[in-house]
Chains A and B, each alone.
Chain A
Amino acid sequence: AQSVTQLDSHVSVSEGTPVLLRCNYSSSYSPSLFWYVQHPNKGLQLLLKYTSAATLVKGINGFEAEFKKSETSFHLTKPSAHMSDAAEYFCVVTGGNKLVFGAGTILRVKS
């Protein structure tokens, strides 16, 4: 079975500072992992995905994530936050039938 734990329900950063959103997963399979972003009153948009190729994955809008099997982690990072990054972020694992979502992390960016 798969599960995902997003370690922070809320993260607040200042504009221009680094972003770190933490995700740990559990999977019986070789997992595929994703990060999705949801802006207020908008649909879910894929930021990036890991599917057993390179462990460092680059996504849209300057985000990247590193798959660390030994730590069962897939943390999302960005070197410099922008006001437009304020949104809710979901870490997702799949390896079987269903996409399993984390509870989400709300990112707040202060000016």
Chain B
Amino acid sequence: QVQLVESGGGVVQPGRSLRLSCAASTFYFKYDAMHWVRQAPGKGLEWVAFISFDGTKKYYSDSMKGRLTVSRDNFGTTLYLEIANLTSEDTAVYYCARQSSTNYYMDVWGTGTTVIVSS
């Protein structure tokens, strides 16, 4: 079973950019479509972004569109999410998750990385 480990979170000043990473434990990562999902403190899950296995398809949430870039390095088995122009509303735990190969759900989740936007 693949394991996913996010990193790159921390305290960031408003207006700055941040790049989050998600490292997969297996070589087969290159066959997996992936998602980013976030959860603000005390709130529910919010889908953020999707990238196909080969990186040719990318979809973004409407609420954050224009500030997001999702990418992947299949040679290095790593997924990335860059968020520009951060605001306090971006404060959340960010999870990466693998999409099932057979349906539109997320069957493996990372443990999350916390982003706090504060001056």
Chains A and B bind each other = no
